[in-house]
Amino acid sequence: MGHASEVSIEKLAKEFQPILIDDERIERAYKLIRDMLVFTNKRLILVNKQGLTGSKIDYQSIPYGSIKMFSKESAGIADLDAELKIWLTGESEPTIKQDFRKGDNINEAYRVLSKYVL
């Protein structure tokens, strides 16, 4: 999917306003070329923009209660990527694997998961 880089929450407000519930707010968001990982206070939203123009968009909601395990692997000296992995209930392999560039704050994504999953 590429490397994730953080996106301003203010830039996403209009796009996500129709799908967020009344007391839901975006905590962090990361762009992956055209796709996104959006962490709210209620769920993780995977955004998959499809087609040549990206006008067809699939929003997949994953309630935090469905996440059974998550991990982060920090970037090393030779390996410049950090990796976030998320396992969903009933899965033996991580359902979501996402690379972050060294220096991009994978720790913030990990903290949001820790806050709402634990």
Q: Is the pLDDT of residue 76 over 60?
A: yes
- Strand duo 26-32 + 35-40: pairing: antiparallel
User: What is the distance between the alpha carbons of residues 105 and 103, in angstroms, rounded to a whole number?
Assistant: 6
**Mean pLDDT in residue range 19-39:** 91
pLDDT at 87: 97
User: Within a domain: residue 24?
Assistant: yes
Question: Structural domain tally of the chain?
Answer: 1
CATH of the domain at 77: 2.30.29.50
User: Within a domain: residue 86?
Assistant: yes
User: Within a domain: residue 105?
Assistant: yes
pLDDT at 78: 56
pLDDT band for position 56 (50/70/90)?
confident
pLDDT at 105: 77
List Cα–Cα distances, 60 to 33, 44, 99, 105, 117, in angstroms: 17, 8, 19, 23, 18
Query: pLDDT exceeding 70 applies to what percent of the chain?
Result: 88
User: Within a domain: residue 111?
Assistant: yes
Are the C-beta atoms of 40 and 62 separated by less than 8 Å? no
pLDDT at 3: 66
User: Within a domain: residue 82?
Assistant: yes
pLDDT at 1: 44
Reported pTM: 0.85
User: Within a domain: residue 78?
Assistant: yes
> Whole domain around residue 74: which residue ranges?
9-117
Size (the chain), residues: 118
User: Within a domain: residue 33?
Assistant: yes
User: Within a domain: residue 91?
Assistant: yes
7 or 23: which carries more pLDDT confidence?
23
**Mean pLDDT in residue range 91-118:** 87
